[in-house]
């Protein structure tokens, strides 16, 4: 049994591990981490008796571990994995499906890009904001793709950190592909974009054909891990505009601290300022293996309590009503069901009923509710 404080388990779905889960109209869509599994679709209309109703596969050497759904359109990423060779002719990019009948998803088209493919992305029902590789660039760049006609996607624009366009003569100042687009999130006419070891950038997309840099922020070099998610809070807290930034607990030695999350003031968006942070109680600086600390906050913010997937620490619900003193108000650590001895909570979302869906990167989806 898992261990919960202020949270209880409603049900468990025994499914392949995954990178992302979204819930629309009481259907959970799970982007699986590794082939041969691609996307698992689960009916959660009765959350105590979830039913898997459809599965999509992926070929060896590839994965589609991210998924978004809006207006009966499902978009998944198609990406080469770090190890393994894909079949000849495979192209990374996006898979676009009609899920008006979730039990019978229909492929509309595959949008292709050069290189490794697409990693994370946002989708508002009309446009996708993606982290994508492209010929002539080092690492993933940000692209905006028009999906208003999902059968004929069109690139609207792209933005990259100066130095990435080596094909155009730019010279990068970092090692390898360390500075690369990781995760764009749209709110209003802004993209809040994590940029891995390049930190966070805020982009103005009022003119979608010409994204413009508003500001950037990074602490990489001081701390060892990359920036995973920049999540704007859609309302003022204590009369300030704020952003939550989550780093990912990878690329560090065991004697370095696990990743945590930050509170960032963006009241003046041209000068973002970190002013607070949150770490799980009990992380005292003792050596820890990677995949112990922070990974991904829930991207649906409905109040000042926010669920966060915290790798080996499972689900942590934080309260940022006082952003200067973020505190934990509930937690749940699921029992590992994969081949690892620890939980590896990778993603979390909520539905309109307030239920939480905690996805393990190795195996299993746990449905939870606050008590």
Q: What is the pLDDT of residues 283-309, one digit of tens each?
A: 999 999 999 999 999 999 999 999 999
pLDDT tens per residue across span 180-193: 999 999 999 999 99
Mean per-residue pLDDT, 163-191: 97
Q: Is residue 304 part of a domain?
A: no
Q: Is residue 80 part of a domain?
A: yes
pTM flag (> 0.95): yes
- The domain that contains 143 carries what CATH number? 2.130.10.10
For residue 7, pLDDT over 90 is answered with yes
Q: Is residue 322 part of a domain?
A: no
* C-alpha 340: how far from chain center: 22
Q: Is residue 63 part of a domain?
A: yes
Question: Helical H runs in the chain?
Answer: none
CA distance 28 to 367: 10
Domain count, the chain: 1
- Note the pLDDT of residue 298: 98
- Tell me 51's DSSP state: E
CA–CA distances in Å: residue 134 to residues 94, 117, 123, 197, 280: 14, 8, 20, 19, 38
Q: Is residue 363 part of a domain?
A: no
Q: Is residue 50 part of a domain?
A: yes
Mean per-residue pLDDT, 333-352: 94
**Mean per-residue pLDDT of the chain:** 96
- Note the pLDDT of residue 156: 98
Mean per-residue pLDDT, 16-31: 98
- Note the pLDDT of residue 117: 96
Q: Is residue 60 part of a domain?
A: yes
Q: Is residue 274 part of a domain?
A: yes
Domain that holds residue 143: 16-290
Residue 76 in 3-state DSSP?
strand
- Note the pLDDT of residue 84: 62
Contacts with 233 (C-beta within 8 Å, 6 or more apart), sequence order: 241, 242, 243, 244, 301, 320
């Amino acid at each position: 049994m898992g261990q919960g404080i202020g949270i209880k388990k409603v049900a468990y779905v025994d499914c392949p591990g995954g990178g992302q889960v979204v819930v629309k109209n009481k259907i959970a869509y799970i982007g699986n981490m590794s082939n041969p599994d691609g996307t698992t679709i689960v009916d959660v209309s009765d959350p105590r008796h979830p039913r898997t109703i459809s599965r999509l596969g992926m070929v060896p050497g590839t994965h589609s571990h991210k998924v978004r759904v809006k207006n009966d359109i499902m978009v998944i990423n198609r990406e080469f994995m770090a190890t393994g060779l894909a079949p000849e002719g495979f192209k990374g990019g996006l898979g676009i499906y009609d899920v008006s009948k979730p039990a019978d998803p229909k492929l509309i088209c595959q949008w292709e890009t050069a290189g490794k493919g697409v990693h994370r992305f946002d989708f508002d029902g009309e446009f996708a904001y993606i982290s994508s590789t492209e010929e002539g660039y080092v690492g993933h760049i940000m692209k905006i793709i028009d999906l208003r006609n999902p059968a004929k996607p069109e690139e609207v624009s792209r933005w990259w950190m100066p130095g990435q366009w080596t094909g155009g003569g730019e010279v990068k100042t970092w090692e390898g592909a360390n500075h690369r687009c990781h995760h764009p999130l749209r709110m209003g006419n802004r993209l809040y974009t994590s940029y891995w070891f390049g930190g966070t950038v805020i982009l103005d997309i009022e003119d979608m054909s010409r994204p413009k840099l508003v500001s950037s922020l990074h602490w990489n070099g001081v701390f060892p891990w990359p920036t995973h998610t920049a999540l704007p809070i859609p309302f003022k807290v204590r009369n300030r505009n704020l952003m939550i930034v989550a780093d990912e607990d990878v690329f560090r030695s065991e004697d370095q601290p696990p990743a945590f999350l930050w509170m960032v003031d963006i009241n003046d968006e041209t000068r973002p300022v970190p002013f607070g942070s949150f770490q799980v109680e009990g992380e005292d600086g003792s050596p820890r293996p990677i995949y112990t600390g922070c990974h991904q906050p829930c991207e649906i913010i409905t109040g000042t309590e926010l669920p966060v997937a915290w790798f080996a620490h499972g689900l942590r619900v934080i309260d940022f009503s006082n952003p200067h003193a973020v505190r934990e108000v509930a937690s749940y650590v699921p029992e590992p069901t994969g081949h690892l001895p620890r939980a590896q909570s990778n993603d979390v979302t909520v539905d309109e009923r307030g239920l939480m869906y905690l996805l393990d990167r190795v195996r299993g989806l746990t449905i939870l509710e606050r008590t």
